[in-house]
A and B are shown apart, each in its own frame.
Chain A
Amino acid sequence: MHELSVAQAVVDEIIAKLGDVPVTKVRLAIGRRSGVVVDSIRFCFDLVVEDTSLAGAELVVDEPPDRDLRIVSVEVIRTCAPPAVAPTTPACG
């Protein structure tokens, strides 16, 4: 079930971008030809967010007719200092 890896990747990418800012909602685009099963993602998402800043976050999934597999947006509980958005490319080395 690669959906577990995919769900974990979603959490890792968001935490890498935003740090430990509490997340209330995650919107994903999972294309109908992406090879990823939405129901499985929902199941795995609830497992992998436990004990992270995404715990309890609502998961919203758009299903375009293509092979898209993307984090569209997240909603965070803000404090006055906004989280710095890291560069798109993960750090090398």
Chain B
Amino acid sequence: MCATCGCSDDAGVRVNGHGHGHEDRLVVLEQKVLARNDHLAEHNRTWLAERDVVAVNLMSSPGSGKTTLLERTIRELGGAVSVVEGDQETEFDADRIRATGAPVVQVNTGAGCHLDADMLARALRSLDPVPGSVVFVENVGNLVCPALFDLGEQHRVVVMSVTEGADKPLKYPHMFRTADVVVLNKTDLLPYVEFDSSRFVGSVSQVNEHARVIGVSATRGDGIPDWYGWLREAVTSTGSAIPG
């Protein structure tokens, strides 16, 4: 401890070139850049757990069919389900969800390319989901940025459609690396597009050996029971939110 000014080597602070010229010094922080987001995400996780609510974060490129998948899921499964919609602008998706009868909060991020833990915290308090329910969080359509931001959700789902190409898991590994499950949507279009399904599954397992791949057509219903099966397993901790 410097008796003159009180500076010290304590508390992670290292003094650099300390001749009492007092011009500059090095402060060692060793701080995670996203520490604040991660901290708020932990608060969300606790908040959700206290209410026995499961949050599922849906991430994808724009237009892969997240909202269509949610509309079908809500209409067919019913139960206590609510939605947080993330988009840069408009209430279009919230309007679609509202039409199913499920409570919804729209978050408009403006220039922002992803939801963060603080946005979800505010949306959850506004949504006020009932105990034992499921909250779907439809992230901003973007296959890059949402990967980095923990929201405090219990499950992360990546939705991809067959029109996007089988090479995407290798081209956007960060997103696929964080997923619990990958939903391959628009399989009804497989006869009309060049999409190598086995290459896709191989690409997913190359970046994330634990992620399960579920092929569905959210418009026609193919494979949807498998999606519901995964969902039931994922929310078992909440009881009967998703009817069996």
Real complex partners, A and B?
A: yes
Instruction: Please name the 9 residue pairs, one residue from A and one from B, whose CB atoms are nearest each other, closest first.
Output: A2-B145, A35-B174, A80-B5, A82-B7, A71-B31, A85-B11, A73-B28, A71-B29, A69-B33
Most buried by B among A16, A69, A71: A71
Which residue from B6, B16, B23, B148 sits with its C-beta under 8 Å from A35? B148
**A residues at B contact (CB < 8 Å):** 1-2, 4-6, 9-10, 12-14, 16-18, 24, 28, 35-36, 69-83, 85, 88-90, 92
Task: Look across to chain B and name the residue whose beta carbon is closest to the beta carbon of A87.
Answer: B11
Q: How far is the CA of A89 from the CA of B39 in the complex (A)?
A: 8
B32 and A90 contact, CB distance less than 8 A? no
Report whether over half of chain A's contact residues are helix, strand or loop; otherwise say mixed.
mixed
Task: Look across to chain B and name the residue whose beta carbon is closest to the beta carbon of A83.
Answer: B27
Size category, B interface: 35 or more
B113 partner residues in chain A, CB cutoff 8 A = 1-2
Q: Does B22 contact A (CB under 8 A)?
A: yes
A72 and B29 contact, CB distance less than 8 A? yes
A4 partner residues in chain B, CB cutoff 8 A = 111
B26 partner residues in chain A, CB cutoff 8 A = 73-75
